[in-house]
Amino acid sequence: MKQKKRRQLGKKITRNGKRFGALLFVGAFFVILIMGGRLFQIAGFKVVNNHNLTAATRLIFMQKETVPATRGQILDSDGQVLADNSTVYDMYAVLDKKQVTKTGKPDYVVDKKDAAQKLSVILGISYDDLYAQLTSNKLQVEFGPKAKNLSVDTYNKIKALNLTGIKFNSQPSRYYPNNRMASHIIGLTNSTQNSAGQRTLGGILGIEAFKNSTLRGKDGIQTSLGNQNETSKKNQVENGNNVTLTLNEKLQATLENRMDVLFAGTKAKSAVAVLMEAKTGKIVAATQRPNFDPNTQDGLSSAWENLINQGSFEPGSTMKTITLAAAIQEGKWHPNATYQSGTYDINGQKVVDAFGNGEGILTYRQAYERSSNVGFAHLEQALGASTWESYINKFRFLKKTGMDLPNEESGSMSFEQPIDQANTAYGQAIRVTPAQLLQAYTAIANGGKEIKPYLVDRVTNPETGKVIYQGKTTQVANPISASTAKQVLSLMAGVVNADDGTAKQYSLSDVGYQVAAKTGTAQISENGKYLDGLTNDIHSVMAIVPEQNPKYIMYIAVRQPQVFPDANIQITLNNVFRPVILQALNDGDDSVKSKTNQVTVPDVKGLSISQAEQALQNAGLSVTTLGSSGTISAQSIKGNQDAIKGQRVFVTASGSVTVPDFSSWTKNDVLTWGYLAKVKMSLTGSGYGEKQSVTAGTAVTGQSKISVNFKERT
C-alpha cells in the first residue's frame, strides 16, 4: 500500500529526484559507455576473453578429434636416447563371412590352414591352437598374449604375408634401446585409454613416472567440418618435453656389466650401486639387481621397488662415519684414548664386536678403522642421546631427500631405549635409503656442505630446443664444519691405508689416488629378530675419491649373498668399484662436464665482441661476427636454446663488416651471412665452401654479389 502512495507523491520529491536523476545519468553514462565499447569490440573482433565467437559458432557444427601428444624422450647426458616412442600391435582375425571390402573381396580369413601355418611360425603359437581358433564359430577371434604387443618388426612380417582377415589394433608404446640398462631409473609406462577411447602412455616407474606430466605433453583437439577436412587448430597439441638425465652412458654400461657379474657370482637377494659427483650431486651411474627388461617387462614382478630412494634398510657400519663426524664436531673425539673391545653391556643388553673378544684394549682410532661397535657405543654415550639425535636430523636422515625419483621413503628409527640409541651409532635400529646416505656423505666430501643427489639434468622443449628446467646443485644442510669434514676424510683414508683397515681392498694407491672409504656389514631384522650368519647380512661400502678435493662418491651394497666368490666380500665389491671409479677418474673433466655434443647456447647480447666470441667458443660453437666494434645486438641462435656442438652462430655488432673465409661453410651458413650482411650470394656446387669470388678480409661495402663454390667432403 505504502508503495502506491509513495509514487503518487512523486512531485513532492522532485528536487531529490533531480539529484538522483543526475547521479543515475552519470552512472548510466559510464555503464553504457563501457558496455557499448565492449559491444563494439565484440562485434568488431568477434572475440570474447580470447574466445573467438566465429570459431565458436563453427564449432557447433564441427567434429572434435583428440590429437594425442607425442611423449618426450629420455636421454642420457651425452644425448643418447634411453626411452623413445614406438607402436605395438594386437592381432585379431575376422571370421565373419559377411565382411567384405568395398570392392567386394572377402575381408575375413579365407584359407584357414594356410593362415594358421604361416602365423604359427612368426608368433610361436602352435598350429593346432591357431587352427582351432580360426575354425571356431565366432565372428572375430584373438590369440592370447603371444599375439598381443607385437613389435613393428613382427607386424611388418605378418603384413607382408597378405593374409585376408588378419587385422591389427595399434597402440603407442615405449621403446628402451638399452633394454635393462638403468631400468629402475628410466622407469616404465603403461598404456591407458583416454576419454576419447585412444590409448595414451603414462609413467608408472622411475623418471617416466616422476616426470610424467612434462614427458606426456598435452593432447590437442582437432576439429573438422563435415567431410571437408578443414582443421581449425584451437587446442594445439603440445608434445611432451625431452628429459635429459645426469647419467653417463659409458659409466653406466661399465657399472651394469660389473653388477651383473657381482649378482650372478654372489646369488644375492638384491644389490644396489650408485656413483655420484661429489661436488654437484649429479648421479652419473646407478643401478640395482634384480632389474627388469622394460621392453618385455621380464623380471618386473620381483623388482618393482627402486632401491635408491625406496628401499630403506639398516645401513650398518657406514653410519659410524656420521657418528664420528658428530663426535669431532662436538669435541668428543679422542683418537688415542682407549677402551675394552669385544662386548659392552647396556642395561643388560649386549653390544658385540664383529671381530670377537680377542682384541683386548683398542684406541678409538682403531675403533673406526676396524669398525668396532663397542667403541661407537661408547662414543654415542659420550655425545649423549639428544645431541646424537640432533646430528641424525642435521645430516637429514629420516627425511626425504627430494631427489628425482617417485615414492621416496623417509626411513625410520627406534630411539627409546639406551641400547637402541647406541645401536643407531653403528647403523642398526635406524633405516635409511642409499640416497640419504649418499647425501649425508656429501657433507664430508664438501667441507661440511651437504648437497642433494639429483638425476634430471634438464628438461627441453623438443620443438624449440628451449631449456624449460635446469637441474642444479642444491645445498640442503651444513651439519659440520670444514675442519671436521677434513678430519673425517683423513680418518676414512686411514680405513683404507691401515694394515687391519676394513676397506684396504679399495686402495687405488697403485694408480696414484687416495681413497677414503668405510665399509658396512649390517644385520637384517625380520619379524623383530636379527637374522644370523654372513649370508644374512647387507655388505656395503661408501667411498670418496680422491680424499683431497673429492670428485666422486660411490656406494655399493649387496644384500644376503648366498655365495662368496672371493676370500672376502669386500674384494667382490671392489670388482665393481675399481673399474667404474677408474673409468670415471680417467675420463677426468670430460665426464664431469658430460661429453655431449648438444650444448646450450649462451646469451651473448650486450657483451663485447671478444667476450661474446669467447663465450660461444667455450660452449663448443663456431662464431662469425658481423661488425668490428661496439656490443652484440643480435645472435642467429638465441641464448638458452640447444644447438649441436660445432655449429656456427652469427653475432651482429656495429662497425664495418668484412667478407669471411667461406671455406668449409655450408650453403645455409653462407646464405645466413649474406642475409645479415645484405650481400647477394651466388652458390655453385654442393657440400662445403671451397672457393670464393671475393677474398676474405675485403670490406663488404661495394660488394653487390659474392660467388661461392662448394665441394662435398668424403
Partner 1 sequence: MQKIKMTMRMHPEQTSTATALAFLASIAVILMIWQPWVKITTVNVDAGNIPTEVIEKEVGIKPGDYRYQVFFQETFLERKLKKSNNKVSQVKISLTKSTVSIEAGEKINAGFLKKGDQWYQLDSAGNQSKISQVDGQGPVYSGFSSVTRIKKVARAVSSLDKTIRQDIGEIKFAPDTNNSDKLVLSMNDGNTVYASQNTLADKMRYYAGIVAQMSSTGVVDLQYGSYSYPYNGS
Which sequence positions are flagged as catalytic? Answer: 317
Name residue 192's beta-bridge partners: 200
Name residues contacting partner 1, limited to 502-541 (CB under 8 A): none
What angle do the packed helices 320-329 and 373-383 form, to 10 degrees?
A: 40
Under the binding rule (CB under 8 A), the answer on residue 133 touching partner 1 is no
Identity of residue 171? Q
Q: Which is nearer to partner 1, 206 or 465 (CB)?
A: 465
Distance of CA 394 to the CA centre of its chain: 27
What angle do the packed helices 320-329 and 434-445 form, to 10 degrees?
A: 40
- 469 vs 454: CA distance, rounded Å: 13
| Cβ 428 vs Cβ 483: under 8 Å | no
- Name the segment binding partner 1 (CB under 8 A); options: 23-31, 325-333, 472-480, 578-586: 23-31
Q: Which is nearer to partner 1, 323 or 598 (CB)?
A: 598
User: Considering only residues 468, 671, 679, 709, which one is a binding residue for partner 1 as defined by CB under 8 A?
Assistant: 671
Residue appearing with cell numbers 621392453: 295
Tell me how far CA of residue 23 lies from CA of 11, 14, 28, 148, in angstroms.
19, 14, 8, 76
CA geometry: angle 482, 488, 493, nearest 5 deg: 130
Name residues contacting partner 1, limited to 190-209 (CB under 8 A): none
User: Considering only residues 643, 677, 694, 708, which one is a binding residue for partner 1 as defined by CB under 8 A?
Assistant: 643
Q: Which is nearer to partner 1, 311 or 465 (CB)?
A: 465
Under the binding rule (CB under 8 A), the answer on residue 11 touching partner 1 is no
Under the binding rule (CB under 8 A), the answer on residue 5 touching partner 1 is yes
Under the binding rule (CB under 8 A), the answer on residue 237 touching partner 1 is no
- Name the segment binding partner 1 (CB under 8 A); options: 12-20, 197-205, 424-432, 451-459: 12-20
Q: Which residues contact 31 (CB under 8 A, 6 or more apart)?
A: none
Smallest CA-to-CA distance from 424 within 416, 413, 433 is with 413
Name residues contacting partner 1, limited to 623-642 (CB under 8 A): 634, 636-638, 641-642
Q: Which is nearer to partner 1, 219 or 669 (CB)?
A: 669
Under the binding rule (CB under 8 A), the answer on residue 32 touching partner 1 is no
Name residues contacting partner 1, limited to 335-394 (CB under 8 A): none
- The distance of closest approach from Cβ of residue 50 to partner 1 in the complex, given in angstroms and rounded to an integer, is 6
Q: Which is nearer to partner 1, 308 or 626 (CB)?
A: 626
- The distance of closest approach from Cβ of residue 125 to partner 1 in the complex, given in angstroms and rounded to an integer, is 30
Under the binding rule (CB under 8 A), the answer on residue 414 touching partner 1 is no
Under the binding rule (CB under 8 A), the answer on residue 589 touching partner 1 is no
CA geometry: angle 523, 528, 529, nearest 5 deg: 50
Q: Which is nearer to partner 1, 456 or 576 (CB)?
A: 456
Q: Which residues contact 24 (CB under 8 A, 6 or more apart)?
A: none
Under the binding rule (CB under 8 A), the answer on residue 71 touching partner 1 is no
DSSP state of 587: H
* Total count of residues recorded for the chain: 714
Under the binding rule (CB under 8 A), the answer on residue 304 touching partner 1 is no
Site string for partner 1, 72-111 (x = CB under 8 A): ---x--xxxx--x---------------------------
Under the binding rule (CB under 8 A), the answer on residue 256 touching partner 1 is no
Name residues contacting partner 1, limited to 442-481 (CB under 8 A): 462-466
Under the binding rule (CB under 8 A), the answer on residue 567 touching partner 1 is no
Listing DSSP states for 300-343 in one string gives: GGG--S-TTTT--B--GGGGHHHHHHHHHHTT---TT-EEE-SE
| Cβ 246 vs Cβ 456: under 8 Å | yes
Phi/psi at 279 (5° precision)? -85, -25
Residue appearing with cell numbers 594358421: 116
Phi/psi at 467 (5° precision)? -80, 120
User: Considering only residues 169, 628, 675, 691, which one is a binding residue for partner 1 as defined by CB under 8 A?
Assistant: 675
Site string for partner 1, 142-171 (x = CB under 8 A): ------------------------------
User: Considering only residues 20, 40, 304, 530, which one is a binding residue for partner 1 as defined by CB under 8 A?
Assistant: 20
